[in-house]
Structure 1
């Protein structure tokens, strides 16, 4: 603590993808992130736990992702995907038999990685994510944080729907893991003044904002407004060393290139080589060169953290706190070498005199200062709401606002639970996922995103029509069919809205 404290915060999230297409997004997206990020990172955390380490990092898992990682259909499909990965590596070995020695070695390495993933899945994950995650939470290896059910952009929600989505998400985590999170990763770090009161009412004690919301003053957690709820800000000076809009470690020439595929096998055989190098001219991936680069970048990051903490200690006259926060999927899925880099940093920071802890640990250590009034903000482009409330998605915003009005007008309190009303709420929450607007604004599978928002809105409208007409039998029949495809959060009770 003499030097200061550091927290990694990882945000694990994908929208509901089950039964909604396969390639190139859809379920393929889930399977790739599961194989290349979730399996290796959980394995790393398990090994840290076996070594007796605690408060290694703060791990956010959104309820909608947890629902998929526990879902029997998703588990079965992922198992098949892992087998297919191994077969594709075997295919590549035959194709690359006379190719560059690095390519032949890559095919063998892919086959071994797939075999290891299959063994890990069959020995530890067959009953889902929750039984794997719970010991890490129970033993204090990690701090688990949660969030609203389907990851909606909260500032655009009616306060009643916002509160319901958060309660539903927290209850879901409690059911799966036996722990109600005290902290949340607010979806997209979206905030509007006054939201801390809703957090306090739901039992949330801390949440994340982006550094600019605190004008870069992220050295300590801050209580928000007149509440006791604490916000922590991402230290962008440190965070962007890894992943910035313009530069960062994953773009190094030695690392595996995410965007270049060998289409017959679906494998990624190339290294980045250079930013202006066309795919056909990229060099084969060299694991030894990549491993050397991982070590170099880990040492650089540790040096950056140490220098930042020394600067903050000199500025404030006491040890401070640095938060580096990222999407979990960066580590392994987007950045192949990410898990190895993360482990090297987590092992190297304590050796450099840095106290590694969680947001909970930082709070308990008193690394919190006086109150702050936060502005409306997010971690998106411009650090405002433009990604989710901009011109490109004006139609989605308008449709979402109309859906919310209709939802509140249709759901009726009563003593008898209605499966039709439960599914109505479920379809509404799926339609309001923040992912659809993000994908449209960023032009990333925008057609898929618009389709998903439209499908859930259309289903919602049909259920609302049947409920409004009093056709209970048809409404229940439709709800039963829809739940076969979109049935997360079985505990969801529309009467609580």
Structure 2
């Protein structure tokens, strides 16, 4: 190992649940398009600039299969293009009342439109593949539809993981060797399933390793390696209580000009009412970015030195965040991200990927990982606690019914395929998370229930098809499955017979 100070890995987790065709405002497609415009476009632009400079192993990028499906989907591509155009129109409409804000938003929307029309017209995969193939990023995959894996039957867990990994391989031409386990959820023994699927590394939260995150470790008696998120460093940016985005000079996410939907204010203060917040000042925000870059780089260097002194060897720091933090939730996030990734090497820190950390020798011994997650309390409570006890019961019943269906046969059955697809979408971890956190809980309950009901509707037809020769009913069932697939159609390669 040759890093003067040590090694740093930035991991970004890109994920949204399936939103296309399932409502628009405030948490349906609007959520997807805002994240696309304000996070995915600028982060990809940043990575392409690093690629043009010849940089490699810049960061580790998790992209869930369900998000990748939406970013390649023609319907969603048309939708975000319309949304970007509407953003520019909203800026024009605000000009008479808020000229400075309107001019700034016009410039930003024009850049986003140009970027989308010039680079994104055929979806995300054509942009992501060269970044992966050239080693600019290491890609992490994941199971289809982002389920909380510890609460899945092992058969369904293996099926969801294989479906997700195969989906990524079909889009990008290579199968990820690492995954972001949804919600960093882990149950003892899951490493065996990972090894069987060809997964060689995954991420857990720091407390899962007793906060001994200074090196990666093999899990149990397997060759699968886990990395722990260093909370002392990660929480400087974003934690349950504090973080850089709350600085008074950053743009306030929650305050809107309701006539235009634009965001005119800076944070100012957490106790300041929206009408009393000060106008956003880009120069003041850029100054805050410079200060927070220095603070973060200093924290990484200090942490690496502390860990080296404690363990007698070059150490590793892994910081991991949702990609959507950068730009969508934290307007200045992409600028900070680029600034940090440029400043860390200048401070003597090796910046690399999880793969690069393994190659650099940062794997030390083995560990038994307890049942854990990155949720509140670092346990399973967010997805399996009292607030979502009805989810736990309903999801267990749905799994029993799904696994009780006879889905084999000589040829693929589009009704069975869509039934499995609906079940996977109902089992998404997002719905329980949104209920526990009281974030659009009604929408989350509706989505989970709707997909479960559609699964059962198709399951009735699957069972009926075994007991008779009513070709008219079979045709109607296939027509209904086609209707549902038009609404919820990720993972086109999904073959129910694999269950």
Q: Is the 8 A contact 1:148 1:166 kept in 2?
A: yes
Displacement of 1:379: 0.1
1:147-203 Cα distance to aligned partner (Å, 9 max, x none): 001000000000000000000000000000111000000000000000000000000
- Give unmatched runs, 5+ long, in structure 2: 466-472
1:183 equivalenced with 2:186 (yes/no):
no
1:93 equivalenced with 2:95 (yes/no):
yes
Displacement of 1:377: 0.1
- Between the aligned partners of 2:478 and 2:400, the Cα distance in structure 1 is 22
1:142 equivalenced with 2:137 (yes/no):
yes
Q: Report the equivalent of 2:468.
A: none
- Between the aligned partners of 1:2 and 1:94, the Cα distance in structure 2 is 55
Q: Report the equivalent of 1:100.
A: none
Q: Is the 8 A contact 1:190 1:385 kept in 2?
A: yes
Q: Report the equivalent of 1:101.
A: none
- Look up the SS of the partner of 1:55 in the other structure: coil
Q: Report the equivalent of 1:453.
A: 448
- Between the aligned partners of 1:191 and 1:266, the Cα distance in structure 2 is 40
Which one of the candidate residues 309, 331, 335 is aligned to 2:330? 335
Q: Is the 8 A contact 1:46 1:136 kept in 2?
A: yes
- Between the aligned partners of 2:369 and 2:127, the Cα distance in structure 1 is 37
Q: Report the equivalent of 1:99.
A: none
1:210 equivalenced with 2:205 (yes/no):
yes
Q: Report the equivalent of 1:49.
A: 51
Q: Report the equivalent of 1:420.
A: 415
- Between the aligned partners of 2:57 and 2:143, the Cα distance in structure 1 is 24
Displacement of 1:414: 1.4
Q: Report the equivalent of 1:58.
A: 60
Displacement of 1:411: 3.6
- Between the aligned partners of 1:393 and 1:236, the Cα distance in structure 2 is 27
- Between the aligned partners of 1:50 and 1:484, the Cα distance in structure 2 is 38
Q: Once superposed, which parts of structure 1, at least 4 consecutive aligned residues long, lie more than 3 Å away?
A: none
Displacement of 1:95: 2.1
Which one of the candidate residues 22, 39, 42 is aligned to 2:41? 39
- Between the aligned partners of 1:366 and 1:411, the Cα distance in structure 2 is 47
Q: Give runs of aligned pairs for residues 162-177 of structure 1, distance below 5 A.
A: 162-177=157-172
- Between the aligned partners of 1:213 and 1:266, the Cα distance in structure 2 is 41
TM-align CA RMSD: 0.7
1:423-466 Cα distance to aligned partner (Å, 9 max, x none): 01000000000000000000000000000001000100111111
Q: Report the equivalent of 2:299.
A: 304
1:61-80 Cα distance to aligned partner (Å, 9 max, x none): 00000000000000001000
Which one of the candidate residues 68, 73, 76 is aligned to 2:75? 73
- Look up the SS of the partner of 1:49 in the other structure: helix
- Between the aligned partners of 2:117 and 2:96, the Cα distance in structure 1 is 27
- Between the aligned partners of 1:277 and 1:365, the Cα distance in structure 2 is 48
1:314 equivalenced with 2:316 (yes/no):
no
Which one of the candidate residues 396, 399, 402 is aligned to 1:407? 402
- Between the aligned partners of 1:94 and 1:16, the Cα distance in structure 2 is 38
- Look up the SS of the partner of 1:232 in the other structure: strand
Greater mean alpha carbon deviation, residues 38-47 or residues 405-414: 405-414
Q: Is the 8 A contact 1:35 1:117 kept in 2?
A: yes
Q: Report the equivalent of 1:275.
A: 270
Which one of the candidate residues 369, 373, 377 is aligned to 2:372? 377
Greater mean alpha carbon deviation, residues 437-446 or residues 314-323: 314-323
Q: Report the equivalent of 2:469.
A: none
Greater mean alpha carbon deviation, residues 412-421 or residues 210-219: 412-421
Q: Is the 8 A contact 1:16 1:430 kept in 2?
A: yes
- Look up the SS of the partner of 2:451 in the other structure: helix
Q: Is the 8 A contact 1:411 1:421 kept in 2?
A: no
1:361-401 Cα distance to aligned partner (Å, 9 max, x none): 00111100111000000000000000000111111111111
Q: Report the equivalent of 1:432.
A: 427
- Look up the SS of the partner of 1:288 in the other structure: helix
- Look up the SS of the partner of 2:10 in the other structure: strand
Q: Is the 8 A contact 1:411 1:494 kept in 2?
A: no
1:323-355 Cα distance to aligned partner (Å, 9 max, x none): 000000000000000000000000000000000
Q: Is the 8 A contact 1:466 1:474 kept in 2?
A: no
- Give unmatched runs, 5+ long, in structure 1: 97-103
Q: Report the equivalent of 2:4.
A: 2
TM-score, with normalisation over the residues of structure 2?
0.98
1:477 equivalenced with 2:479 (yes/no):
yes
Displacement of 1:473: 2.8
1:490 equivalenced with 2:492 (yes/no):
yes
